[in-house]
């Protein structure tokens, strides 16, 4: 879970700020609460009350606390992966490589702009206008349609390059050889809600998209993790010039995935393309090591939250301040109910409680937002 920036460490990325156009592009028109049948995994067939993004990405400026919290997970992924990508870009620049951390920052923040509308079209198709057409294209393509012309062009080009199955958009092929692209996609592939080993994160992607769910046993999962780990280490050893190391060819990598039981195609990309990306990530990891950067030593201590990220998180949650204050004020006499929806184990719960604390201190009395009970 990300920690707030520490004064003595806030120099990391301190000179960078997110272009306001990127933040504004993430806003959208959100519906009033509606009743519909859910097709979301885990709640299939249940009638639920939801708010839907009618226009725009709908990923910033969310005034309802439940809606705000709902999309805090993808927001956390975006912010963590962007933080670490910016860090690697800055470190690579120190080692003499050409990078543009500002482009990575802006592009990273805008990189998942189609996620909400795409997910909602799949989860609540009876309630979403044009749900079928939205699901007929990738969430990346949908996102590009939503933010095109609203963000800096260099950032938009990076977003296009990072997408899978991008229909109707193209960029100068030279971007795929840039460190901005290679670093950004590498970090995205290692980051979920935390920064993870490359072999397990990409192993989960392989298992989730190229295997029948019923066939994914613990033994199969471990075999995939270990096999990908060896493949990645072998490729890194070759790139680092270790004696006796041989390059893992794309044909070999694809055959390895096939031997594990992976299907040749998925809705998002082919197995061969996924294995190409894994080899590319291994090459990027080797380049980071060669530049004197430890790609595994990345956490809130070694790469603390920069000011731009704390500001984004704060403003993201603060958009729902009135709703948060109203909800928590109603629970102030029953503090045991706080943890259910405003858990201190989540970044969103911490920020929401802090916002309530500031309001409470100003309008009522002092209040400790980090105490588990009140």
Bridge partners for 30 per DSSP = 53
Taking the C-alpha atoms of residue 129 and residue 54, their distance in angstroms, rounded to an integer, is 8
pLDDT at 317: 98
pLDDT at 367: 61
Task: Categorize the per-residue pLDDT at 338 as very low, low, confident or very high, splitting at 50, 70 and 90.
Answer: confident
Taking the C-alpha atoms of residue 310 and residue 330, their distance in angstroms, rounded to an integer, is 28
| pLDDT tens column, 169-228 | 999 999 999 999 999 999 999 999 999 999 999 999 999 999 999 999 999 999 999 999
| pLDDT tens column, 115-168 | 999 999 999 999 999 999 999 999 999 999 999 999 999 999 999 999 977 888
Query: How many helices (H) and strands (E) would you count in the chain?
Result: 17, 4
Taking the C-alpha atoms of residue 259 and residue 256, their distance in angstroms, rounded to an integer, is 5
Mean pLDDT of the region 278-303? 97
Closest Cα partner for 146 from 20, 51, 27, 316?
A: 27
**Structure tokens belonging to residue 48:** 């639920």
Bridge partners for 36 per DSSP = 48
Q: Quick check: 246 pLDDT over 50?
A: yes
Task: Categorize the per-residue pLDDT at 12 as very low, low, confident or very high, splitting at 50, 70 and 90.
Answer: very low
Question: Are the CB atoms for 373 and 335 separated by under 8 Å?
Answer: yes
pLDDT at 151: 98
Q: Quick check: 9 pLDDT over 50?
A: no
Rounded to a whole number of angstroms, the distance between the first and last alpha carbons of the chain is 23
φ/ψ region of 128 (left if φ > 0, alpha if ψ in -120 to 50, else beta) reads: beta
The pLDDT > 90 percentage for the chain reads: 87
Q: Quick check: 57 pLDDT over 70?
A: yes
CA distances for 181 relative to 74, 147, 336, angstroms: 20, 19, 46
Task: Categorize the per-residue pLDDT at 11 as very low, low, confident or very high, splitting at 50, 70 and 90.
Answer: very low
The pLDDT > 70 percentage for the chain reads: 94
Q: Over the chain, what is the mean pLDDT?
A: 93
Residues 6 or more apart in contact with residue 142 via CB below 8 angstroms: 114, 117, 118, 134
Mean pLDDT of the region 361-366? 82
């Amino acid at each position: 879970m990300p920690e707030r920036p520490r004064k003595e460490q806030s120099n990391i990325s301190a000179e960078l700020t997110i272009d306001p156009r990127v933040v504004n592009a993430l806003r959208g028109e959100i519906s009033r609460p509606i009743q519909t049948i859910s097709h979301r995994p885990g709640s299939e067939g249940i009638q639920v009350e939801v708010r839907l993004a009618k226009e725009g990405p709908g990923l910033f400026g969310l005034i309802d606390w439940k809606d705000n919290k709902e999309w805090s997970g993808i927001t956390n992924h975006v912010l963590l992966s962007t933080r670490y990508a910016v860090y690697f870009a800055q470190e690579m620049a120190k080692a003499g490589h050409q990078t543009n951390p500002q482009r990575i920052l802006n592009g990273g923040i805008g990189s998942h702009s189609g996620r909400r509308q795409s997910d909602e079209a799949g989860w609540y198709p009876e309630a979403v206008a044009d749900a079928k057409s939205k699901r007929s294209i990738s969430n990346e393509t949908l996102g590009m349609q939503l933010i095109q012309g609203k963000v800096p062009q260099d950032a938009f080009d990076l977003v296009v390059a990072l997408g899978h199955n991008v229909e109707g958009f193209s960029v100068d092929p030279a971007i795929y050889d840039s460190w901005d692209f290679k670093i950004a996609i590498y970090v995205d592939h290692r980051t979920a809600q935390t920064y993870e080993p490359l072999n397990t994160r990409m192993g989960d992607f392989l298992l989730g998209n190229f295997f029948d769910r019923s066939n994914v046993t613990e033994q199969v999962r471990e075999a995939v993790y270990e096999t990908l780990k060896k493949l990645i280490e072998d490729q890194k050893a070759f790139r680092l010039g270790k004696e006796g190391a041989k390059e893992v060819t794309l044909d070999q990598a694809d055959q390895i995935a096939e031997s594990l039981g992976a299907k040749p195609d998925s809705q998002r990309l082919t197995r061969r393309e996924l294995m190409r990306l894994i080899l590319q990530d291994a090459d990027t990891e080797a380049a980071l090591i060669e530049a004197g950067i430890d790609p595994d030593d990345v956490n809130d201590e070694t790469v603390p939250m920069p000011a731009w990220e704390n500001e984004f998180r704060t403003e993201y949650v603060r958009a729902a301040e009135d709703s948060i204050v109203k909800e928590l004020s109603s629970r102030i006499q029953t503090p045991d109910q706080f943890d259910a929806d405003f858990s201190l184990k989540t970044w969103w719960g911490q920020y929401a409680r802090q916002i309530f604390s500031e309001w409470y201190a100003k309008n009522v009395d002092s209040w400790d937002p980090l105490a588990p009970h009140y």
